[in-house]
């Protein structure tokens, strides 16, 4: 019975869901998965389709509804200029105040920098190349919506790092910004749809290139800033060379 005790303890540990989660091989969340292209692909394709083929039949009536039925002559409400930054701040800061993050603070900075740099390059190139007049007629840099793509890259980074618990709130902010760009007459609906898809896509680019960038620059992995660590347990068997008794050491890390 004494010799069976380590086996019984090991079986009990491995039967616990929390411990199984610790000893299981962790999936590589930074690897490319084709399914991650579905949501941004649908959004960007819809935005391009409306912009190129249905501007007069979709964009214009939607804008008219915003301006005549909802806004109805009310002044502009530019709070979207400020709340667009909240998801990015959430992505970097939530782990520092205890929320459980997928990566440490340094990794989140690298991931976010890659995502935002990629987003900026694509978004500003589109604005410079595509002559798309804004609905308010200020200039021809309407496509895509810079506010929308910026806030959606932040929202997707939050979702990937912290899950849908925090991600839902970040996406609510992102959707509000997209709606307000239409309300304030700065963008067409197609601008915002394409911008949302572009933001989500470039967030994943940041995730896909995280590990290659760290290897290229020889940056080690730091866990600091990843929030509260999960409960970890380890069971180490050993053999007493004198008595031949099998011993075990059980350690918990909180």
pLDDT in tens, 227-243: 875 444 444 555 555 55
Summarize the confidence of residues 108-120 as an average pLDDT: 98
Give the residue with greater pLDDT, 34 vs 20.
34
**pLDDT, tens only, 88-111:** 999 999 999 999 999 999 999 999
Find tokens 């069976």 and name the residue. Answer: 4
H or E element at residue 63: helix 60-64
Q: What is the pTM of this model?
A: 0.80
pLDDT score recorded for residue 57:
97
What CA–CA distance (Å, rounded) separates 19 from 63? 54
Summarize the confidence of residues 149-168 as an average pLDDT: 98
Percent of the chain that is helix, strand, coil (3-state, to 5): 65, 5, 30
What end-to-end distance do the CA atoms of the chain give, in Å?
31
């Amino acid at each position: 019975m004494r010799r069976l005790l380590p086996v019984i303890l090991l079986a009990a540990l491995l039967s616990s869901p929390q411990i199984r989660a610790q000893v299981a091989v962790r999936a590589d969340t930074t690897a490319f998965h084709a399914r991650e292209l579905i949501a941004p692909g649908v959004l960007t394709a819809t935005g391009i389709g409306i912009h190129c083929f249905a501007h007069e039949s979709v964009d214009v009536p939607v804008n008219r509804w915003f301006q005549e039925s909802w806004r109805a002559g009310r002044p502009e409400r530019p709070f979207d200029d400020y709340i667009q930054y909240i998801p990015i701040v959430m992505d970097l800061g939530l782990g520092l105040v205890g929320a459980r993050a997928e990566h440490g603070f340094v990794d989140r900075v690298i991931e976010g920098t890659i995502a935002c740099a990629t987003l900026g390059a694509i978004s500003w190139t589109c604005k410079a190349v595509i002559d798309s007049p804004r609905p308010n007629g200020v200039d021809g840099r309407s496509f895509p919506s810079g506010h929308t793509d910026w806030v959606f890259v932040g929202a997707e980074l939050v979702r990937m790092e912290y899950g849908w618990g925090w991600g839902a709130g970040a996406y609510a902010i992102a959707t509000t910004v997209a709606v307000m760009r239409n309300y304030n007459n700065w963008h067409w609906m197609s601008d915002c749809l394409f911008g949302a898809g572009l933001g989500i896509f470039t967030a994943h680019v940041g995730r896909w290139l995280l590990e290659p960038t760290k290897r290229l620059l020889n940056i080690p992995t730091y866990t600091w800033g990843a929030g509260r660590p999960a409960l970890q347990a380890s069971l180490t068997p050993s053999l007493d060379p004198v008595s031949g008794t099998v011993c075990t050491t059980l350690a918990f890390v909180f």
